[in-house]
Chain A
Amino acid sequence: MHIPDGFINASVSLGAGVVSAGGIGVALRRSADALEEKQAPLAGLVAAFVFAVQMLNFPVAAGTSGHLLGGVLAGVLVGPWAGAICITLVLVVQALFFADGGLSALGLNVLNMAVLGGLGGYAIFAVVRAALPKSRPMIVVASGVAAGLSVVLASIGFFVEYALGGVGDASLGAVFTAVVGVHAVIGIGEAVITGLTVSAVLAVRPDLVHGALGLMPRLEHRRAHVAGR
């Protein structure tokens, strides 16, 4: 999913950079307002974990692989704003140290994976969560569903960028079908990894799952009620 230099022309790359900078600027401001003491090490951990799992490409079809993008995972764990910053940090580290994702394409990659995949993905999570019963397993389901869809959303982001400023002359219809199709399959892997990770953290420290915060008072209340009888 990391766009190299040369796929998308300079003006669209620059435009995406401006949009991304705006989005991440808002995320920095909002997460600074919401930041609690515990969040700095947690957010660092989430970014480091996403970096590690992004290295683990899994096969999706003959001669094709995919890897976690992590936008919904990060958002569900530390909140959408801090989560989007985590993904941006991973992308910057990858571009600067590992030559993965072009430097001129950084704005495009942040737009697709942190803004669309992270903030957009978290919005999908919030909608799905609201439609389901309030319980921990449903948080896992909502995380997985949103994670899968967030990969498709990120791939649509790429398609729009290619349609606006693609350097190659591939047929747009063919690019759309291929890029969205393969990312729908990669999205299944994203859903599984996100669901497993969220359920593992819920099992150990449910209070550290931002996306499950609404559940906590209710559970405590119920326990108190039972104890009071």
Chain B
Amino acid sequence: MDRKALAIFVVGGLIVALGLAFFLSPFASSSPDGLEKVSIDKGFAETAEDHALAEGPLADYGVKGVEDEGLSTGLAGIIGVAITFGVGMLLFGLLRVVRSRRQPEPSPGP
């Protein structure tokens, strides 16, 4: 029962996250963020170097090849939410395995 309730909560939360990433991200402000703005105003923006992975298929929160800008951003958001959730599950699942190795429970059999 508790396991089922937790699954419902997690699935519900993921739907909210995916919805925000897909439907709202195209409407996010495209102005520079606080740090970027300060770097422009105070004259150190030009020291920034191009990102080493700037040509990646998802660079700058857009899916390469998708013409429609809003759709491109929204799809990048969905992919990002999925990657983050998947890697997170994997990472925290691994942590549990490591923990149970460190504190081995008494195993049945010889």
Name B55's closest neighbour in chain A (CB-CB): A99
Asked if A5 and B52 make an inter-chain contact with CB atoms under 8 angstroms apart, the answer reads yes
Asked if A98 and B10 make an inter-chain contact with CB atoms under 8 angstroms apart, the answer reads no
Contact with B along A34-47 (1 / 0, CB 8 A): 01011111111111
A residues sitting closer than 8 Å to B (CB atoms) are 1-7, 28, 31-33, 35, 37-53, 55-60, 63-67, 82, 85-86, 89-90, 93-100, 102-103, 155, 158, 166-171, 174-175, 178-179, 182-183, 185-186, 204-205, 208
Asked if B41 and A57 make an inter-chain contact with CB atoms under 8 angstroms apart, the answer reads no
Asked if B53 and A168 make an inter-chain contact with CB atoms under 8 angstroms apart, the answer reads no
Residues in A neighbouring B17, C-beta threshold 8 A: 45, 48-49, 51-53
**Residue among A41, A96, A102 with most chain B CB within 10 A:** A41
CB distance from A49 to the nearest CB of B (A): 5
For chains A and B in complex, what number of residue pairs have CB atoms within 8 angstroms?
Answer: 225
Q: Would you call the interface of chain B mostly helix, strand, loop, or mixed? A: helix
Interface flag for B71 (CB, 8 Å): no
Q: Which of B2, B29, B48, B98 contacts A5 (CB 8 A)?
A: B48
Asked if B87 and A49 make an inter-chain contact with CB atoms under 8 angstroms apart, the answer reads no
Asked if B44 and A32 make an inter-chain contact with CB atoms under 8 angstroms apart, the answer reads no
Residues in A neighbouring B93, C-beta threshold 8 A: 40
**Residue among A3, A4, A55, A66 with most chain B CB within 10 A:** A55
